[in-house]
Structure 1
Amino acid sequence: MQRRILLTGAALGLTAPAIFGRVHAQPRNSSWPRALNMGTAAPGGTYALYGPAWGQLVQEATGVNISYRTTQGPNQNIVLVQRREVEVGMVTMGVALQAWNGQGDWTQGNQFREIRALFPMYDTPFHGISLKRSGITQMSQLAGKNIGVGPRGGTPGTYFPLIMNTLGYRPAAIRFGSGSDMSGQLQDGLLDAFLFASGVPIPAFSEAETQGEVNFLDYTQEEVQKLTQAFPELSASTLPASTYRTAGRELRVVGMFNFAIGHRSLPEDLVYEMVKAVLGQQPRLQQAIAAASETTAANASKNSFLPYHPGAARYLREVGQNIPDNLVLA
């Protein structure tokens, strides 16, 4: 399976409001909340663009106002939804699995059981870059090197330390920060490599290859097998050679699917209309952000553990998806 290249409406000079137009001023149903808050992620990541794109569709369909909160990514989104500081958010399924089971250092042993799956979003590949002058061309050369992995609370910040440990490549230092900060540190020679996971092409990687020669870091077949065995939530695939201007070859990667989540207390009929607004108008969403090429009901099968909100399950079943009863929880 090849991953699709994810371009954004913003890259075309478009914004979500420009694409979707005006929205209702009042909720269609008086029992619904007037407004919802959505946890997204730091600027420069796909969530920061994808979130307002699907939020605008929901706002238009329901009349419920959606506001956006910049976060560190999936980990923080889960915490905020759990606490009802935001009602909806976006996560990668590996982080969601850690949250549900209370595993991973960031959970401090707490199980986050107030979150519910809403709909599938898109796949996220893990890969990296180094400056060509460094001579680093493969992951194994990162042992003893300084690497950057994005925000501490994001999926790459959570998983890349585990990935490197699993592969047995111990970096000298792992640094955390925004994608733009990591890219700047790479250019300044403070980092030997920048490893990230996001919708592709990753903007910071594309920018780096315009500033100088870079190497793209992917995985050997043996490394892929080791990682997918250690982390069942990861899947193997390839990025087309055309993903980046100077890659010059397919990249062998691992990745995990992203899902929208909501608090379990959201009204069932509201969630039904929210999921219908997104999946039922997928071509419009894809106009805003091409990551939505994978935002289809069929990809509901990418979730095998996180309970669906009953409103989401109702819509998915209506359009032909097999959602088992044990995967639906009020």
Structure 2
Amino acid sequence: MSFKTQALTATLAGAMCLATAAQADREDWPDNFTVGTASQGGTYFVYGSGWANLIADELGVSGGGEVTGGPNQNLALVHTGELALGLTTMGPAAEALAGESPLAPGVKMDNVCALFPMYETPFSITTLADSGIESISDIPDGASIGFGPAASTSDTYFPAILEELGVDFERRNGGWSDLGGQLQDGLIDVIAFAAGIPIPAVSQLEVQTDVNIIEFTEEEQQKVLEAFPVSPFQIPASTYQTLEEDARAVSMWNFTIAGCDLPEDFVYEITKLSMENNDRMRDIHRSAEFSVPENLKYNTVLPFHPGAVRWYEENGYDIPEDLKLD
């Protein structure tokens, strides 16, 4: 056998081994997957559905996004294995891991692992311009306020935040698009959003009518920072046509999540795809500008999935030992 023939044979054998290994790696992959998002009209739905499509297209696994009640429900559905992937916020994640989820009190949701950071969720307030409400203190007693889907991050934290600030209100729930319609029709007075910006429902509202986007005063912001697991935030003026300058707010970080028992190679490929293609992630939603590995430090709650840990460590990012599965 000539040297060229030997080399060709070795190359073909190596290629066959790689193909066999790749096939073996995929044998335990799920046939399909679903990403838990939130209600239509919110950022979670746009981000999660687009991310699901990216995974399906690039990894060749059938999948898509699903409308849910948001972070709390996504945590519960991923924990039980009813959903493979989901989106959540760090406040609800901490409560779920401690067995304090409002959906399942006493159940420690320890089959939920973090994948990568998404973006910060600002807490913001929108009213119609003709309501006369230009500040939080202007909200009249008994005002009807929409807080998003029941048990969502907004519904979990925003009522308590407004109570802390002395607002008396009547609580309403619903999807963001539906609440936007109710605000425009005069059926509710205020919407208290906790969602990534720009919020599709707000962008749609300000095209159709004049709105006020209400910011926190410095004193209100400080009072909320002292009472809740949130961070200071500025909504950039460029986010909405209505804003003439940055608006003071508070925020909470969001992460993608997966069942801890999902195959390591599957999750590794999802993490690799998501972290190495930020331009494509930004095409899904511009808030993905912050979906970069440098922001993984904002998860101090959930363990990272072993597949995600492998990608991070291969690329020079350290994961604290207490955030790795035993």
Amino acid at match of 1:135: G
- Secondary structure of the residue aligned to 2:26 is coil
CA distance in 2 between partners of 1:185 and 1:228 (Å): 30
2:283 aligned to which of 287, 290, 294: 287
One-letter amino acid matched to 1:312: A
Match of 2:238 among 242, 246, 249: 242
Which of these residues, 109, 130, 133, is aligned with residue 133 of structure 1?
130
Deviation at residue 221 of structure 1 after TM alignment: 1.1
Tell me the CA shift for residue 143 of structure 1: 5.1
Residue 130 of structure 2 aligns to a residue whose secondary structure is helix
2:209 is aligned with 1:212: yes
CA drift of 1:286 comes to: 1.5
Distance, in Å, in 2 between the alignment partners of 1:59 and 1:236 is 36
- Cα 1:209/1:287, change in 2 over 3 Å: closer
Task: Give the Cα separation in 2 of the matches to 1:138 and 1:130.
Answer: 10
Aligned counterpart, 1:164: 162
**Contact 2:25–2:265 (CA<8 Å) still a contact in 1?**
no
Change (3 A) 1:92 1:31: same
Partners of 2:97 and 2:109 within 8 A in 1: yes
**CA 1:96 to 1:204, structure 2 compared with 1: closer, same or farther past 3 Å?**
same
Q: Are 1:93 and 2:96 counterparts?
A: no
1:273 equivalent in structure 2: 269
* Cα distance in 1 between the residues matched to 2:225 and 2:316: 29
Correspondence list, 1:184-195, <5 A: 184-195=181-192
Match among 305, 315, 318 for residue 319 of structure 1? 315
Give the ranges of 4+ consecutive aligned residues of structure 1 lying more than 3 Å apart after TM superposition.
104-107
In 2, Cα distance between the equivalents of 1:192 and 1:54? 34
Which residue number in structure 1 is paired with residue 111 of structure 2? 114
> Secondary structure of 1:182's match?
helix
Stretches of structure 1 lacking an aligned partner (at least 5 in a row): 1-25
**Aligned counterparts of 1:242 and 1:37: Cα–Cα separation in 2:** 33
Contact 1:102 1:109 in 2 (8 A): yes
- Contact (CA 8 Å) 2:53, 2:64: kept in 1 or not? no
Distance in 1 (CA, whole Å) between partners of 2:25 and 2:65 is 21
Match of residue 56 from structure 2? 59
Task: Assess if the C-alpha contact under 8 Å between 2:113 and 2:304 holds in 1.
Answer: yes
Conserved? CA contact 1:297–1:319, under 8 Å: no
Letter in 1 for 2:62: N
Q: Deviations over 1:197-227 (max 9, x none)?
A: 2121212212222232221111011111121
What's the offset of the Cα at 1:55? 2.1
* Separation in 1, partners of 2:188, 2:178: 11
Shift of 1:190: 2.1
Q: CA deviation at 1:28?
A: 6.5
Secondary structure of the residue aligned to 2:171 is strand
Which aligned pairs between 1:19-38 and structure 2 lie closer than 5 A?
29-38=26-35
Q: Distance in 2 between matches of 1:203 and 1:284?
A: 19
1:135-175 C-alpha deviation (Å, 9 max, x unpaired):
1111123251211111113211221112112222221x010
TM-score computed with the length of structure 1 as normaliser: 0.86
Of the two, which has the highest radius of gyration? 2
Work out whether residues 146 and 191 of structure 1, in 8 Å CA contact, stay in contact via their aligned partners in 2: yes
> Match of 1:44?
41
Q: Which has the higher contact order (CA 8 A, sep 6+)?
A: 1
In 1, are the aligned partners of 2:124 and 2:193 still within 8 Å (CA)? yes
- Find the counterpart in structure 2 of residue 201 from structure 1: 198
Relative to its length, the structure with more helix (as a share) is 2
Deviations 1:268-290 (A, max 9, x none): 12211110111011222222321
Q: Does 1:177 align with 2:174?
A: yes
Aligned partner of 2:248 among 242, 246, 252: 252
RMSD of aligned C-alpha atoms?
Answer: 1.8
CA drift of 1:253 comes to 0.9
1:105 partner SS: coil
Going from structure 1 to structure 2, the CA distance change for 1:131 and 1:287 (only over 3 Å counts) comes to closer
Q: Among residues 210, 217, 220, which one is paired with 1:223 in the alignment?
A: 220
What's the % identity of the aligned pairs?
Answer: 43
CA contact (8 A) 1:79 1:112 kept: yes
Q: Is the Cα–Cα contact under 8 Å of residues 27 and 62 in structure 1 kept in the other structure?
A: no
1:84 is aligned to: 81
SS, match of residue 317 in structure 1: helix
Name which of structure 1's ranges 289-298 and 100-109 shifts more when overlaid on structure 2: 100-109
CA distance in 2, matches of 1:27, 1:227: 51
8 A Cα contact 1:28 1:62, kept in partner:
no
